[in-house]
Amino acid sequence: MLGEILLWLAAIGGVVCMVLVIVAFAANITLMMFRTGSMAPTIPAGSVAVVQSVAASEVGVGDIVTVDREGDLPVTHRITSISPGAVDEERVITMRGDANAADDASPYVVRTVRVVLFSVPGVATAIVAMGDPVVLGGLTIGATALVVWAFWPRSPKALRARSEATRNEATEAER
């Protein structure tokens, strides 16, 4: 009974994961992990944010966005000003971290940005830990054990007892 419950929970979890991957792929959604506190207290260090890639023309002042920087890590800050770029799809945005006293040193010329949909504080360490070989090995061994247990041949006596119990339940239901 417990094994069947665990198998159902694993199956449901697998389906949920597959649906989330499809939705994330279709909607250009990714995760961003925050190492610094430049966006605190809104997004403290150690948080994970769900971000969606959008055209720069779709964001406004006050939005929290992630922009890519050539040869450097991306930066996620709040937009303080927006002006048109050299072409229609381009924008020049100025940003500042909520914990910072001044705007970033130079504006960013962008065509697309990743807007922060929401964030969850404190889960970055758990996500990073999931990439640890020991954790991955443990999860793999656990999943393997569950699958082996589920499909391991049962003794003929246990199969007969289960079959008889099922027949008895069906007979009771017919009465």
Give the CA radius of gyration of the chain: 25
Number of domains in the chain: 1
Average the pLDDT over each of 1-15, 24-38, 40-54, 60-74 and give the range with the smallest value.
Answer: 1-15
Q: Is residue 10 part of a domain?
A: no
Tens of pLDDT along 127-175?
Answer: 888 888 998 899 899 888 888 877 777 667 766 777 777 777 767 766 6
Q: Is residue 61 part of a domain?
A: yes
Residue 106, C-beta contacts closer than 8 angstroms, at least 6 positions apart: none
Alpha-carbon distance of 91 to 108, in angstroms, equals: 8
Rounded to the nearest integer, the mean pLDDT of the chain is: 89
pLDDT recorded at residue 159: 64
Q: Is residue 43 part of a domain?
A: yes
Flag whether pLDDT at 86 surpasses 70: yes
Q: Is residue 137 part of a domain?
A: no
Domain range for 81 = 30-125
Average the pLDDT over each of 36-50, 65-79, 132-146 and give the range with the smallest value.
Answer: 132-146
Q: Is residue 104 part of a domain?
A: yes
3-state secondary structure the chain: CHHHHHHHHHHHHHHHHHHHHHHHHHCCEEEEECCCCCCCCCCCCCCEEEEEEEEHHHCCCCCEEEEEECCEEEEEEEEEEEEECCCCCCEEEEEECCCCCCCCCCCEEECEEEEEEEEECCCHHHHHHHCCHHHHHHHHHHHHHHHHHHHCCCCHHHHHHHHHHHHHHHHHHHC
CATH of the domain at 77: 2.10.109.10
Q: Is residue 12 part of a domain?
A: no
Give the model's confidence band at 91: pLDDT under 50 very low, under 70 low, under 90 confident, else very high: very high
Count of Cβ atoms closer than 10 Å to residue 157 Cβ: 8
pLDDT recorded at residue 139: 87
Give the model's confidence band at 24: pLDDT under 50 very low, under 70 low, under 90 confident, else very high: very high
Count of Cβ atoms closer than 10 Å to residue 174 Cβ: 6
Q: Is residue 82 part of a domain?
A: yes
Please state the pTM of the whole predicted model: 0.72
Q: Is residue 110 part of a domain?
A: yes
